[in-house]
Amino acid sequence: MDAGAISLIVFSLMLLLLASGIWVAPALLAVGFIALEFFSPAPAGSLLGSTVWDASWNWALTALPLFVWMGEILFRTRLSSDMFNGLAPWLARLPGGLLHVNIVGCGVMAAVAGSSAVTCATVGRMSIPELRKRGYDERLSIGTLAGSGTLGLLIPPSIMLIVYGVIAEVSISRMFIAGVLPGIMIIGIFMGYVMIRALLNPDLAPSDGIRTSFMEKLEASRLLFPVIMLIFFVIGSIYGGYATPTEAATIGVLGALGLAWWSKSLSWGSFMESLMGAVRTSCMIAFILAGAAFLSIAMGFTGVPRVLAGYVDAWNLSPFMLLALLTVLYAFLGCFLDGVSMMVLTAAVVLPMVRNAGIDMIWFGVFTVIVVEMAQITPPVGFNLFVLQAMTGRDLLQVTRAAMPFFFLMLLGILIITLVPEIVLWPVEYMISKN
């Protein structure tokens, strides 16, 4: 049987298993085993054991559970209220007022949590009641949280950047460096959109008329000092070359525990809740990565990636057209799969094609994470939509409509980094030259 027919059977089987409700990781393992057993002379059993073992002890993965735990600890502190009260005096006078607190607050939270859902929930639980009380447009309030909450996937220490670094075999430290400027750029795009909307219709973000002196703003800023210091020590230690991502994650966990103790949020119960939450999330991601590693090996033995790459080469696509095709593919997959599953499921086929097209793998990692961010606000499996649905009490359709403008703003961000790739690559090149 030729590889084209094998690829059709394999992908049909994958879709069938995923549609049946089976967990993603067992589905990946099952498809890989069947592909090896029936379409390859390779020993499926021994490859399964060796591949899963190799994928499970990867040293780069040790940073993952630590960063997840750091986010879980901070989720249970009063960090969200401190951020809101610290940022509000500085941002309230901009067109759009406190809506900018949603955007900047999510950016700050992303730099210490690394998770989209944690970022969205932590900022939203404080800002939603406050914005409702002040008469802000609910649709725009929800939209800013839905879009900005996805920054947890891009701004370091991003769990998704760690996952990509592992599957693409690129430096996680360099991925962290590459994610900073695009994250700041998307924050700027979101804030610009809110300003334009508020200038066109001031009723969307009514001003309370309260003026704050410079000294009052500085006094409020002390609430931001602890989290700013945590960001500085975690991210700065990586950028300065003083710590590996795993060592920086350890610093982050200790700092998060210190913040929780300082804010009187640390108890034995909250400690165990954060620890078990981190264990559940980390085990899920590690299990998916092990399944994806085995499927990649299986696909290599069956020759499917080579055949699919041949099909794409036959279309004679330019790198730009290939990226446009992949954007559509990921946006479609995001309607049915979570971000980690989507990334690892396509890695065996997509990464070889991208390498052959001469696209920088670090740049492609940032591109992929932004597209996965878009998938976080696409129904029916957009995690941020579920978080906001639960927090606002609105139905999924209303939340989706509120989030859609920010979906297209992230698409604009992809276009910008495609036309100006230096936004992603320059900081990496600069850090390499300095070290």
Looking at the domain assignment, is residue 230 inside a domain?
yes
Residue 280 pLDDT class (50, 70, 90 cuts):
confident
pLDDT for 80 equals 67
Eight-state DSSP code of residue 104:
H
In this predicted structure, the answer to whether residue 19 has a pLDDT above a threshold of 80 is: no
The domain total for the chain is 1
Residue 13 pLDDT class (50, 70, 90 cuts):
confident
Give 127-145 pLDDT, tens digit per residue: 888 888 888 998 999 999 9
Looking at the domain assignment, is residue 6 inside a domain?
no
Residue 405 pLDDT class (50, 70, 90 cuts):
very high
Give 22-43 pLDDT, tens digit per residue: 777 888 888 888 888 888 788 8
Mean pLDDT of the chain: 83
In this predicted structure, the answer to whether residue 417 has a pLDDT above a threshold of 90 is: yes
Looking at the domain assignment, is residue 424 inside a domain?
yes
DSSP 401-425: HHHHHHHHHHHHHHHHHHH-THHHH
Q: Which domain holds residue 157?
A: 23-434
In this predicted structure, the answer to whether residue 4 has a pLDDT above a threshold of 70 is: no
pLDDT for 377 equals 84
Which residue in 17, 8, 24, 69 sits closest to 256, CA to CA? 69
pLDDT for 313 equals 67
Contact 410, 148 (CB under 8 A): no
Token readout for 269 is 């119960």
Looking at the domain assignment, is residue 193 inside a domain?
yes
Residue 181 pLDDT class (50, 70, 90 cuts):
very high
Q: Return the residue matching tokens 């959109």.
A: 193
Helices 225-239 and 99-113: crossing angle, nearest 10°?
50
Tell me the three state secondary structure of residue 40. Answer: coil
Looking at the domain assignment, is residue 298 inside a domain?
yes
Section 360-367 average pLDDT: 95
Looking at the domain assignment, is residue 15 inside a domain?
no
Looking at the domain assignment, is residue 17 inside a domain?
no
Least confident of 161-165, 206-210, 229-233, 315-319: 206-210
Looking at the domain assignment, is residue 8 inside a domain?
no
Give 184-214 pLDDT, tens digit per residue: 999 999 999 999 999 999 888 887 656 677 7
d(CA 220, CA 364): 39
